[in-house]
A and B are shown apart, each in its own frame.
Chain A
């Protein structure tokens, strides 16, 4: 599903954010990408969604070599990969329903499709009864659920979660982790970028550890090591 072959990311001044990263994530896998701050986890996530380009190496997503992806093709890629962030990225003046619908609306979906899909994904994340609320009327965990719902509307094969629990309390961390496992059980490949040892250790899934931009460990049922 995701293949990285000897990927390097070098910034000006010869700063290497990623070095020699080779990784193969199979369809339906749940992979935690761990490491301390500044080790290149987020850079790797950005390369997968083509927000950044690898300086060297090849990046292949679902058989599609996106190393030199054309700007016009990026939207097509983004509709196949759901992304969620620590800061939720919700629009404060839109309701839960509208925030989720926004992802479909800007992709040109018919209104009929929107009214069918949005309630479905809100049900998956457990927010069907709060669809008329605004983001500031929700808890942090609920806001992250809205963000997850939005990332699911295009039925992505891959979900990239970049520190999704970073702003949440323990109970909400648990809830979001369970939600990610639930989505994974539907067959969606999950890449979880985190530095929360409790989350990683509780999952008992594959763990890839990055240190100074290099993969230093790749365990099938791993633990947080650093």
Chain B
């Protein structure tokens, strides 16, 4: 009996869909725009999060020691830094190692190679490269180092304040996200109103059928279900369209973004491919929820009478 009723309600729902085809299409369009705007906001959030992560990963501090400082003291400084809870890792680069690195990095540059060959002694210093767990900790680490016994053997510290870059990205990301949420909110509101209106019109168009259904003993759930199923159908179609649109958008944007993040672990398309089922289910859940809520309000108001 449940199966038979479901089959009949689905048939009625499809009939409603075709009878008001234009209205159905407009409703799907609005739901699609709503879902698409939400998806774009979430994608932007993901991209900026990745950008911040990458910038944070890049941040480190180079500490250069005076020439001639014994290696033992540098190792002591390394241990001192390593013992700080904020510090993630400390790498010791000896002057020789630094020169070697420099040589390798500029292996193709004949001028530099020639200049290096002219040198009698290594002009580079021993250094420590410090990476903290959190970007915010660098100031603390450096101030502790300044107050330590090692302060006098340090020649310079190279700390490009990446916090500023991070703040800029965060602030831009927050602005974009906030604007995106406002836009999504507006679309959600419009979507609810449009679905509500579509279902209301469908109900009015079939008020005679509904009257007869009630007269001959159809349950309220049976009367409601075709309209609910119709709204769910809108949601499913919109979610499918948005998945396609997103795939296309990501495919178009991915080369530019991947290029921007070249050298880092970032591939938008791979992320999308790995997550598309989750994305689709989330889209579907949002669309169906929106449809159900608005159609329940529309049907409830009518059937209560």
Point out residues on A near B: beta carbons under 8 Å.
71-72, 74-79, 83, 89, 91, 102-103, 105-111, 150-151, 153-154
Is B5 an interface residue when CB atoms closer than 8 A count as contact? yes
Contact across chains for B209 and A107 when beta carbons are under 8 A apart = no
Contact check, A89 vs B211: say whether CB atoms are below 8 A apart: yes
Q: Are B217 and A75 in contact (CB-based, < 8 A)?
A: yes
* Most-contacted residue by chain B among A77, A79, A103 (CB, 10 A): A103
Chain B residues with CB under 8 Å of A83's CB are: 215
B contact residues around A77 at 8 Å (CB): 217
- In the bound complex, do residue A78 and residue B208 qualify as a contact, i.e. CB atoms below 8 Å apart? no
Interface residues of B in 1-38 (CB under 8 A from A): 1-2, 4-5, 8
Rounded to whole angstroms, the CA-CA distance of A72 and B217 in the bound complex is 11
Total chain B interface residues with beta-carbon distance under 8 A: 19
Please give the distance in Å from B301's CB to the nearest CB on chain A.
Answer: 15
Within 8 A of A (CB), among B205-251: 208-209, 211-220, 222-223
CB-defined contacts of B209 to chain A, threshold 8 Å:
91
- Shortest distance between the CB of A109 and any CB in chain B (Å): 8
10 new A-B pairs (CB below 8 Å) besides A79-B216, A91-B208?
Answer: A75-B219, A75-B220, A79-B217, A83-B215, A91-B212, A102-B216, A103-B216, A106-B216, A109-B4, A111-B4
- Which of A71, A91, A106, A150 touches B218 (beta carbons < 8 Å)? A106
At the interface, is chain A mostly helix, strand, loop or mixed?
Answer: helix
- B8 contacts A106, C-beta separation under 8 Å: yes
Interface contacts (Cβ under 8 Å), in number, total: 58
Distance in Å: Cβ of A164 to nearest Cβ of chain B: 14
Contact of B213 with A106 in the complex, beta carbons under 8 Å: yes
Please give the distance in Å from A63's CB to the nearest CB on chain B.
19
Would you call A108 and B216 a contact (CB within 8 A)?
A: no
Complex Cα–Cα for A110 and B2 (A):
10
Give the CA-CA distance A79 to B213 in the complex, in Å.
Answer: 11
Residues on B facing A (Cβ under 8 Å): 1-2, 4-5, 8, 208-209, 211-220, 222-223
Query: If A72-B220, A107-B217 touch, does A102 touch B212 (CB 8 Å cutoff)?
Result: yes
Q: Looking at the assembled complex, report how far the CB atom of B81 sits from the nearest CB atom of chain A, in whole angstroms.
A: 73
Query: Can you report 28 residue pairs joining A to B where beta carbons are below 8 Å apart?
Result: A71-B220, A75-B217, A77-B217, A78-B214, A78-B215, A78-B217, A89-B208, A89-B212, A102-B212, A103-B212, A103-B216, A105-B8, A106-B213, A106-B217, A107-B216, A107-B217, A107-B218, A108-B1, A108-B5, A108-B222, A109-B4, A110-B1, A110-B4, A111-B4, A150-B216, A151-B216, A153-B216, A154-B217
Q: Are A106 and B208 interface neighbours, CB within 8 A?
A: no
The distance from the CB of A100 to the nearest CB of chain B, in whole angstroms, is 10
Minimum CB–CB distance for A69 against chain B, Å: 13
Report the minimum CB–CB distance from B229 to chain A (whole Å): 15
Q: What are the 8 A-B residue pairs with the smallest beta carbon separation, nearest first? A: A78-B217, A106-B218, A103-B216, A79-B217, A108-B5, A75-B217, A75-B219, A108-B1
- Residue pair A72, B216 in contact (C-beta under 8 Å): no
Interfacial chain B residues near A154, Cβ < 8 Å: 216-217
A102 / chain B contacts, CB cutoff of 8 Å: 212-213, 216
Q: How far is the CB of A104 from chain B (nearest CB, A)?
A: 8
Q: Separation in Å of the A155 CB from the closest CB of chain B?
A: 12
Which residues of A have CB within 8 Å of B220? 71-72, 75
A151: chain B residues within 8 A (beta carbon):
216
Query: Which B residue sits closest to A49, measured CB to CB?
Result: B215
Check A103 against B217 for contact (C-beta < 8 Å): yes
Chain A residue with minimal CB distance to B206? A91
The interface residues of chain A lying within 8 Å CB-to-CB of B5 are 108
How distant is the Cα of A143 from the Cα of B45 in the complex, in angstroms? 64
In the bound complex, residues from chain A placing their C-beta under 8 Å from that of B219 are 72, 75
